[in-house]
Amino acid sequence: MFDGLFDKPWLILVIVLLFIVMFGSRKLPGAARSLGQSMRILKKEMSGLHEEQDDAQAAPAAPAAAPAQLQATAPAPAPAVAPAPDAQAQLAALQEQLNSLQKTVAANGTAATDTQQAR
């Protein structure tokens, strides 16, 4: 589709002029700067990715552990702990207070919050 598009210098000149007209001469340096920063970040990330792959390939393979060893060394999953009854009572009391405050605010407007803050 774009074969030979950049073979002729005048085509490059037309494209550059088109960019200047479309984006304005004031925004082009900033756009070029941000494009350069993006390219540097991309190169840095790609080189880091290649280094990680090289490190992974260079590291010797660890011997496979027996399933019994894996089960012995794996931490036991924490059981799902239900809140204690007193914690549930506290949550219920706090919910009731919140509901009553919301009702008070709805009835009186912002005056109720001012009195609550004064306490």
CB-CB contact of 63 with 55 (8 Å): no
Mean of the pLDDT values across residues 11-25?
83
* CA-based max dimension of the chain: 81
Percentage of the residues of the chain whose pLDDT score is greater than 90: 11
116 Cβ contact list (under 8 Å, min separation 6): 101
Residue type, 53: Q
Residue 44: what pLDDT?
Answer: 92
Mean of the pLDDT values across residues 27-41?
89
Is 53 in the same domain as 90?
A: no
Number of separate domains in the chain: 2
Give the span between the Cα atoms of 106 and 116, in whole angstroms. Answer: 14
Question: Is 65 part of a structural domain of the chain?
Answer: no
Residue type, 23: F
pLDDT digits (tens, 9 = 90+) for 48-102: 888 888 887 876 555 555 555 555 555 555 555 555 668 888 888 889 988 888 8
Is 93 in the same domain as 52?
A: no
Is 16 in the same domain as 54?
A: yes
Domain that holds residue 95: 85-114
Residue 30: what pLDDT?
Answer: 87
Question: Is 91 part of a structural domain of the chain?
Answer: yes
Percentage of the residues of the chain whose pLDDT score is greater than 70: 64
Q: State the number of CA atoms in the 13 A half-sphere of 45 facing the CB.
A: 6
In which band, very low, low, confident or very high, does the pLDDT at 43 lie, cut at 50, 70 and 90? very high
Question: Is 64 part of a structural domain of the chain?
Answer: no
* Mean pLDDT (the chain, rounded): 75
